[in-house]
């Protein structure tokens, strides 16, 4: 399995990412994750939609909480042709609890805790922590990655405006 040392940092400490690195223009790898009801969900279930995938370490941390709430707010104003997914290693039960407490209803939370299939397929699994790195990926309705931001310092937020612009471009094109 591919490893990228010093790919990201957490509070300045370097971390290694493992898995297949993806880039803009690649076909988005499919994955099978668990939703809040423990049902399997794959990326292919969203074929025909633009998909925003938020990869976060844990919803129970301040930046992940803030990011997912912000995208939930933005998703409320997006077309029905857009799906927003937050993927973390949190257990589905914790994700369900968090969504209820945060009032999140426009973002679907999915758990990668079982096999780290998403983390490995997208090169976002942090070797030292078995958590996901912070990234935003926009996949067009045809399944191509149109935007990819790996947030180098995990404790920082992503570029919301750039991600939302990529969604608009996907829908227009």
Q: Which domains does the chain have, with CATH numbers?
A: 3-172 (3.40.30.10)
Question: For residue 173, what pLDDT is reported?
Answer: 67
pLDDT of residue 50: 95
Q: What angle do CA 53, 106, 83 make, to 5 degrees?
A: 40
| Cβ-based burial of 117 (10 A; exposed 0-12, middle 13-18, buried ≥19) | middle
Predicted local distance difference test score (pLDDT) of residue 1: 80
Predicted confidence band at 171 (pLDDT cuts at 50, 70, 90)? confident
Task: Render pLDDT for 28-37 as a digit per residue (tens, 0 to 9).
Answer: 999 999 999 9
CA Rg, the chain, in Å? Answer: 15
Mind telling me the catalytic residues?
A: 64
pLDDT the model gives residue 21: 93
3-state helix/strand/coil string of 3-38: EEEEEEEECCEEEEEECCCCCCCCECCCCEEECCCC
Cβ proximity of 154 and 134 under 8 Å: yes
Per the CB < 8 A criterion, the answer to whether 62 and 72 are in contact is no
Residue 60: which of 69, 52, 47 has the closest Cα?
69
């Amino acid at each position: 399995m591919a490893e990228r040392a010093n790919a990201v940092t957490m509070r300045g400490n370097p971390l290694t990412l493992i898995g297949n690195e993806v880039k803009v223009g690649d076909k988005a790898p499919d994955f099978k994750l668990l939703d809040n009801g423990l049902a399997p969900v794959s990326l292919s279930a969203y074929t025909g939609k633009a998909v925003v995938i938020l990869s976060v370490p844990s919803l129970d941390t301040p930046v992940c909480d803030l990011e997912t709430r912000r995208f939930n707010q933005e998703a409320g104003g997006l077309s029905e042709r857009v799906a927003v997914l937050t993927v973390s290693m949190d257990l589905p039960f914790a994700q369900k609890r968090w969504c209820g407490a945060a009032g999140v209803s426009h973002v679907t939370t999915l758990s990668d805790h079982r096999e780290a299939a998403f983390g490995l397929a997208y090169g976002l699994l942090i070797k030292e922590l078995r958590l996901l790195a912070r990234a935003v990926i926009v996949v067009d309705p045809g399944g191509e990655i149109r935007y990819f931001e790996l947030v180098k310092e995990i404790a920082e937020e992503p570029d919301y405006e750039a991600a939302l612009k990529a969604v608009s471009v996907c829908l227009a094109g």
